[in-house]
Amino acid sequence: MSPTRTRNRRRLTGIAAATLVAATVTPATLASAAPSATVSPGTVAPGSRVTLTVDGCDSSTARASSRAFGDVSLSPAGRTYGFSGSATVYRDAASGSYPVTFDCGSSGRRVTVTLTISSGAARGGLGGSIDSMSPGRIALGGTLAAGALGTGIWLLRRRWAHAR
């Protein structure tokens, strides 16, 4: 065998061995990583609903708890070791920061994130979709909508008059 082939074979053997070691160690490293969690939205008014998500729980159950909403069982979320659920913040919750603790069931792993409760009531009706709009913008939108409606009626009447 030529020296070049021998050298290449050794390199490939070394690369294969390194890849095997990395593949063996990586799952253990990922499994021992701390879970990650989110509360969305992160800032809410009392009475609002939040979505709770945790990834990296290597167990069959997960829970989230906080003084802001109590204790909630989370459901598997279709991701590996992922769980999600929702909770309604107590209507009488005082404004401030509340820790939300996610407990990964039998594995005993936990992670805590913060939920901020703002002062004021939960938005209802339109969900606050026009809260940041000024009266001028609302009037302009109404004028544009009325103009479009008027133009549509005028075109239909004109078409109907020509059809006779």
Q: What is the pLDDT of residues 112-130, one digit of tens each?
A: 999 999 986 555 555 555 5
3-state DSSP call for residue 117?
strand
- The model's pTM is 0.55
CB 53, CB 77: distance < 8 Å: yes
Between the alpha carbon of residue 158 and those of residues 3, 48, 163, the distances in Å are 91, 50, 9
The predicted-structure confidence for 23-53, as pLDDT tens digits, reads as follows: 444 444 444 567 889 999 999 999 999 999 9
The C-alpha atoms of residue 161 and residue 153 are separated, in whole angstroms, by 12
Q: What is the dihedral sign for C-alpha 102, 107, 108, 110?
A: negative
Which of 101, 91, 113 minimizes the C-alpha distance to 46? 91
